[in-house]
Amino acid sequence: MKITNHIIKLKTAATLDFIDITEKVKEKIKETGITNGVINIQSLHTTMAIIVNEAEPLLISDMKTLLEKLAPRTFKYAHDNFEIRTVNMCDGECANGHAHNKAIHLPTSALLNISSHNLQLGQWQRVFAVELDRSRPRQIALQIMGR
Amino acid sequence: MKITNHIIKLKTAATLDFIDITEKVKEKIKETGITNGVINIQSLHTTMAIIVNEAEPLLISDMKTLLEKLAPRTFKYAHDNFEIRTVNMCDGECANGHAHNKAIHLPTSALLNISSHNLQLGQWQRVFAVELDRSRPRQIALQIMGR
Amino acid sequence: MKITNHIIKLKTAATLDFIDITEKVKEKIKETGITNGVINIQSLHTTMAIIVNEAEPLLISDMKTLLEKLAPRTFKYAHDNFEIRTVNMCDGECANGHAHNKAIHLPTSALLNISSHNLQLGQWQRVFAVELDRSRPRQIALQIMGR
């Protein structure tokens, strides 16, 4: 039984950037030499999600539209009212209430099977890191367990 | 430590078919002889979700109504515009943008505990495979790990 | 390889109570002595979710507002029509269709990495048990695996 931890570092480009990390994840699995097990792909951020879906550009544009409808940037979030907010304020704090509110409806992590030395995915399944906030440096933690 | 991989094959009946797979999952766990561990129940499709909730028929009808509201079939998805779309087109491609957009708001997999030879579930928890697209043959992958 | 199962017991205060269970989870991990592995934090209820997000009170108030918009208490749920419903009726059954319908859009469990004897979390990530129904006694199951 082997357990290894890895970090994937990314620089996202903009709000609702969908970054296909499938190949990077597969590489890390190959490196471990694990044949059968599981991998947990975990966002280390509260405004970045991990989703498993199809890499079709028009579909991704639809997803952006519907996520925007679910937690619109135009909604007045109390989290963004810096006149009353006192908790977790950083230098250069930006309004990102919409990003957190999109995040709770999307998974923080995806646990996927490893079978025959590879990520077990259906024909159209790809793994995406989804930037919900603005362009930022990001980290995805991978925990690979198996033998 | 044992790690085993299984496939459950299903034929779904229609859009928003909720299929209770709890008993099938329990059977697979029994077959492995594992006492303590985890099971990852993973949809191998981008338009099928795995949810854990209550098997109450009226509740399921409510869920269908609200999923339909979230990503309506009547919305014009760019993914379904076959005049402009060029990526991932198959023979007999059907309009299913609504199904993908429902999918990103639902889990692709459920990781559940195995305790005392059985799936650890609360009183009302049942595991459902949810068809978001039309009637199709489907596969659910189970990874069972423990000892 | 060690696998241990734990129960966290809670009494929630009201609908949409967000309970930060991060410290309780960390304690349980310390108790096991596990250095590297994963922990699955699983709600044992169909109207309680587990989310990973930021502990900022105004943000939590925003999340409540948007969850309420997604599955409003004012919507007429068939699940709550006790004149026609026959399945899973208990003594003192309360109308909670909204709670189940919020639940399917939120995770039932969170699988998080354990690295260097501790829960691997990003700077702002905290683990919350979210009460979607009314004030109730609740149980969260933890499965900790690693070595």
> pLDDT tens, C31-55?
999 999 889 899 999 999 999 999 9
Residue C113 and residue A81: Cα distance in Å, rounded? 33
Q: Kindly indicate whether the ipTM for this predicted assembly is greater than 0.95, answering yes or no.
A: no
Give A93-121 pLDDT, tens digit per residue: 788 999 999 998 888 888 888 999 999 99
Candidates B51, B58, B124; nearest CB to C104 = B51
Q: How many CA atoms lie within 13 A of A125 on its CB side?
A: 23
Contact across the interface for B79 and A66, Cβ inside 8 Å: no
Which pTM was predicted?
0.89
Check CB contact under 8 Å for B105 and A110: no
Residues C93-144 pLDDT 10s: 788 999 999 998 888 888 888 999 999 999 999 999 999 999 999 999 999 9
B40·A38 Cβ contact <8 A: yes
| C-beta of residue A50 within 8 angstroms of C-beta of residue A43 | yes
Q: Which of C1, C44, C79 sits opposite B59 (nearest CB)?
A: C79
| pLDDT on residue A46 | 94
The C-alpha of B44 sits at a distance from chain A's nearest C-alpha, in angstroms, of 4
Stretch C57-61: mean pLDDT:
94
CA closest to A48 among chain C residues: C53
- A15's tokens: 């709000």
CB contact under 8 A, A113 and B78: no
Q: How high is the pLDDT of residue C89?
A: 84
Give the SS3 label for residue C24.
helix
Choose, out of C111, C119, C128, C130, the residue to mutate when testing the contact with A (most A CBs < 10 Å): C111
Say what the pLDDT of residue C5 is. Answer: 92
Cα Rg of chain A, angstroms: 17
Task: Tell if the CB–CB gap between C5 and B70 is shorter than 8 Å.
Answer: no
Over pLDDT 90: what percentage of chain C?
76
* A44 contact residues in C (CB cutoff 8 A): 120-122, 125
Sort out which chain A residues have CB atoms less than 8 A from B105's CB and list them: 70, 105-106
Contact criterion met (CB < 8 Å) for B58 and C105: no
CB C111, CB C37: distance < 8 Å: no
Residues forming beta bridges with residue B38, ordered by sequence position: B113, B145
Q: Under an 8 A CB cutoff, do B38 and C40 touch?
A: yes
Return the ∠ at Cα A8 (arms to A5 and A12), rounded to 5°: 155
As given in the structure block, the two tokens for residue B84 are: 């402009």
Supply φ then ψ for residue B69, to 5 degrees.
-65, -35
Partner residues linked to B18 by β-bridges: B130
**Whether C40 and B113 lie within 8 Å, measured CB to CB:** yes
Q: Does residue C91 carry a pLDDT above 80?
A: no
Q: Would you give per-residue pLDDT tens digits along chain B (147 residues)?
A: 788 999 999 999 999 999 999 999 999 999 999 999 889 899 999 999 999 999 999 999 999 998 999 899 999 999 999 999 988 887 777 889 999 999 988 888 888 889 999 999 999 999 999 999 999 999 999 999 888
Show the tokens assigned to B123: 């009183």
What is the mean predicted confidence (pLDDT) over A63-74? Answer: 92
Report the percent of chain C where pLDDT is more than 70.
100
Residues in Cβ contact with C129 at an 8 Å cutoff, skipping those fewer than 6 apart? C8, C10, C12, C18, C19, C21, C43, C48, C49, C50, C138, C140
The mean of the pLDDT values for chain A is 92
Residues from chain B that touch C46, judged by Cβ atoms under 8 A, are: 52-54, 122, 124-125
- The whole-angstrom distance between B33's CA and the closest CA on chain C is 15
